Amino acid sequence: MNKINPLYLLGIFIAVALLMMYESWAMEKKISRKAQENAQTEMLGKKVASLKTRWKDPKKARSRIDEVLNMRPFASKAGERRYKSGVYKVTVKELSAQELDRLSAKLLNETVPFKRLEMLRNGDRNVTVTMEFAL
């Protein structure tokens, strides 16, 4: 009874080898999952960085606002434009409902940070809009 059967040793070695193969496969799966998460986080970081640069640049934001206000329907109605201590204030006078809708759609689709929007009704069909942008 002092002898160990070689078949038992072979069985133990095979079991240990299978266990090692399973652990290796599970570790590879974890590593690939973490690599995918890392790649997604990196892409999200790049996206956030690009959005930060788009929203943070005051010169580009001001040029986008001026570009919209210099469009043909709004150019003649755009009144005073003042830039003071990081706030760009623009007044657009006597806008009809369609023009107001167009202007608001154009400005809200641009990457510019609104601070304040004030609308004053001049009559039945006209509106004066005062907008402040935080640049």
pLDDT digits (tens, 9 = 90+) for 9-63: 999 999 999 999 999 999 999 999 999 999 999 999 999 998 888 888 888 888 8
Which letter does DSSP use for residue 96 in this model?
A: -
Query: What fold is seen in the domain 58-134?
Result: Gyrase A; domain 2 (3.30.1360)
Look at residue 5 in the predicted model and tell me its pLDDT. Answer: 86
* Ranges of each domain in the chain: 1-56, 58-134
Portion of the chain with pLDDT greater than 70, in percent: 99
Per 3-state DSSP, what percentage of the chain is helix, strand, and coil (rounded to 5)? 60, 25, 20
C-alpha span between 28 and 134 (Å, rounded): 49
What global pTM score does this model have? 0.62
C-alpha span between 87 and 72 (Å, rounded): 25
